[in-house]
Amino acid sequence: MGNFTKGIVAGALISTAVGIMVMPNLDRRTQRKMKKAGIKMRDMAEDTYESMMGCCMK
C-alpha cells in the first residue's frame, strides 16, 4: 500500500475515533445532520470511485 493510501486510512481512523468521542456530547439534531452529511460524503466517494474505475477499465 502506498504512503498516500496509508495516510488516507490513518486520517479516516483518527477522525472516526474523534467523532465517536464527540458525538455523545452533541444534541440529536446535530447528530442527525452529521450522520446525513457522512452518508452523502460516502455516496459521493463511491460514485467517484466507480466513475474512475469505469473510465480506466475500458
Task: Give tens-digit pLDDT for 1-58.
Answer: 678 888 888 988 998 888 888 877 778 888 888 889 989 999 998 988 888 877 766 5
What CA–CA distance (Å, rounded) separates 36 from 44? 12
pTM comes to 0.53
Instruction: Give me the pLDDT at residue 50, please.
Output: 85
The two most distant CA atoms of the chain are separated, in Å, by 48
Instruction: Give me the pLDDT at residue 24, please.
Output: 79
List, in order, residues 6 or more apart from 26 with CB less than 8 Å away.
34
Apex 16 CA angle, 15 and 19, nearest 5 = 85
Instruction: Give me the pLDDT at residue 40, please.
Output: 93
